[in-house]
Structure formats: structure tokens, C-alpha cells
Amino acid sequence: MRTETNRSTALREEIEALRHMTVGQLKDKYRDVFGESSRSNHKQFLFRRIAWRMQANAYGGLSERARRRALEIANDADLRIRAPKNFLKEDLDETRTIEARVAPTEDPRLPMPGTELLRRYRGKDVVVRVREDGFEYSGQIHRSLSSAVRQATGTPWNGFAFFGLGGKPGRKHGSHQ
């Protein structure tokens, strides 16, 4: 147990010494630890990689099962880091293309359809009705609450902020507590 503590302390001190190294020194240490040079000049990246490898060497790295699984994933034929050079020049392979629309989810900040939102703005009442298919103001249907408020006020407002929807409970519009 005592040698384990000494080894752990020595490793911790060695890793702590990495923090005070220059990028050039870290690149040399990287070459020593990994057996190859690094193209990176990012000090934090080099520090983290070297510290990880030193700990893996001292305490053991990945299990054999994890190494095999990582190799399986890496050898997967569909794995790509970059798109092929002719990606946008060729027609898409229809057998590998799927088109689907995702149904929009209801925004939890909005009241139920049929609810009228009311706010007095510059001496006039702004009333917007929440509908299944959007928002109604002055007989026109808008896709967004902000669009309806923009038509009502002539100013680009966030619709939720204008009506005080979605804020903190108990907080009134315009108050900053």
C-alpha cells in the first residue's frame, strides 16, 4: 500500500510539473510518452493528452474488451471524418436518402388554443388569439407570436417577452427583481 501511495504521489508531482512546461517542452514530452510527435501547439491539449497517457501507463489503460470494441468502431466502413471530395457534385444515392418531417412540439410557454392574450401598449389594447395553426391578430393569422406582436406595435418584439409568457413564476411584465 505504501509503494502505491508513493507511486501515486510521484505521478501527481510529475503531472503537476507539466503545468509549468512550455509548449516546446510539452511537445518533447509528448514524443517521449507517445512515441510520435504531435502537430498540435495547443498547450492545454498537450497537457491533457500527456497526463492521460502517463496515468494510463501507471494504472493501466482501457480493458482488452474496450480496445476490441474501439477497433470495431474504428474499422466500420461507414465511418467518415470528412465528406467525399465529389459529395456535392454527384446525385444523391436514393437508396441511402430518407426524407421525414418532424412534427413540431407544442411550446410549454403558450396557453391553450382559444386563449386570448391581452396587453395594453401605448394606450391601445393588443389582443392576440392563440390558435392551433398560429396566432390571430386583427383577422390575420401569423405563424409566430412575435410576428403578430410586430404587426400590432410596429416594433420587433419577442412575443413571449411582450406578453410576459415563459418567465419566472410570480414575476410581472417589466419588473426586474
Segment 155-164, tens digit of pLDDT: 898 988 888 8
Supply the pLDDT for residue 172: 55
pLDDT in tens, 118-148: 999 988 889 999 988 889 999 999 988 899 9
d(CA 145, CA 134): 8
d(CA 120, CA 18): 63
Residue 5, Cβ density class (10 Å: 0-12 exposed, 13-18 middle, ≥19 buried): exposed
pLDDT at 168 over 70: no
Supply the pLDDT for residue 57: 86
Q: What residues contact 131, with CB distance under 8 A and at least 6 apart? A: 113, 114, 141
Supply the pLDDT for residue 128: 92
Supply the pLDDT for residue 18: 94
User: Which secondary structure element, helix H or strand E, spans residue 74, and what is its range?
Assistant: helix 64-74
d(CA 25, CA 16): 14
Supply the pLDDT for residue 59: 83
CB 173 within 8 A of CB 119: yes
Supply the pLDDT for residue 93: 64
**Phi-psi label, residue 61: left if phi above 0, alpha if psi -120 to 50, beta otherwise:** beta
DSSP assignment of 20-52, as one string? T--HHHHHHHHHHHHSS------HHHHHHHHHH
Answer with the residue of higher pLDDT: 1 or 33.
33
Supply the pLDDT for residue 42: 94
Stated pTM of the model: 0.39
pLDDT in tens, 69-98: 888 877 765 556 676 676 666 666 666 666
Supply the pLDDT for residue 177: 46
- Per the prediction, the chain carries an average pLDDT of 81
Supply the pLDDT for residue 114: 86
